[in-house]
Structure 1
């Protein structure tokens, strides 16, 4: 996937520039990423796109040395299912 990484956001644009998938993670005052929103367009649901977004986010956070606090329900569930990523949690 050709995700675009921006401060506080990783997303996948469609050919028309429309957001097809996105995870947002603004940093709080402690510098902890608050994973507050995960979105996947209906055309991509059921294909593991949200999991790919969170895996890309985990890799990004790890490379930047940033800890995370999952707030949205999908992120909470993803971290529960991936014990190998628990070191990223604040």
Structure 2
């Protein structure tokens, strides 16, 4: 549901009604991003939107050759639970 757009240091899911979720990051240095915030509108929670946003962030990190420090609790939990993120996780 919704289309993911890149907006500055964020990926945002938008529907016809507007934004419904986002994941943001802050570049720490040339090779590292800090994933600092994930939000999904309450009406859309449980619908896999946060996971889609995290996957898009991880895809971008792979393309750019950077690692992610999971400051956001959602990202931290997903990194610990899912080995698919091991290649972008900066421990």
Normalised to the residue count of structure 1, the TM-score between the two structures is 0.88
> Which residue number in structure 1 is paired with residue 3 of structure 2?
2
Counterpart of 2:28?
A: 28
Residue 84 of structure 1: how far off its partner (Å): 2.2
TM-score, length-scaled by structure 2: 0.87
Root-mean-square deviation (CA, aligned residues, Å) is 1.5
Residue 70 (structure 1) aligns with: 70
Aligned length: 89
For structure 1, which runs of at least 5 residues remain unmatched after alignment? none
The Cα of 1:13 is off from its aligned counterpart by 2.1
In the alignment, what sits opposite 1:54?
54
Shift of 1:82: 1.2
Q: CA deviation at 1:89?
A: 1.5
